[in-house]
Amino acid sequence: MEILVVCGAGASSTFVAQRIRRGAEAEGLDLRASAGTEAMLPGAVDAVDVVLLGPQLTARAPEIRRCAALVGAAVAVLPESVFRDPDGTAALELARRELAAVRAGADTADIADADHSAQEDPRDHPHP
């Protein structure tokens, strides 16, 4: 899993990304967490699975979610409490939850598309 933590200037996101990496390491998870700035968006969304936004970017979240949805990435706004989380587990759990929700939605859409394409057209088999 690739996580990008974004805040206005990149300072607090650096600390959160470091904590996420420590939390993931403690759980034996294979993931990368990096920090970024608002200026990096939306281009950076293409290369990650999850974007975690600092609370100051709440107003931009709908726009960022629309961009992320095009590439199957998840977006979540970090609650203030995450910045006081010493081991990164709260941010990591938020990232996992959001990614699972996006993937579940994608899986549901994929299944619906497959079901629709698998249905036979009744005109292909006219009744006698």
Does residue 122 surpass a pLDDT of 50? no
Peptide bond into 42 cis (omega under 30): yes
| CA gyration radius, the chain | 19
Q: Is the CB of residue 51 less than 8 Å from the CB of residue 78?
A: no
DSSP collapsed to 3 states, 84-102: HCCCCHHHHHHHHHHHHHH
Give tens-digit pLDDT for 26-61: 999 999 999 998 888 868 888 999 999 999 999 999
Angle (deg, nearest 10), helices 89-118 and 11-27: 80
3-state SS class at 125: coil
Element (H or E) spanning 117, and its range?
helix 89-118
The domains of the chain, with CATH numbers, are 2-116 (3.40.50.2300)
Task: Check residue 50 and give its pLDDT.
Answer: 96
Using 50, 70 and 90 to split pLDDT, how confident is the model at 74?
Answer: very high
CA–CA dist 10, 107 (Å, integer):
33
pLDDT digits (tens, 9 = 90+) for 77-106: 999 988 888 899 999 999 999 999 988 886
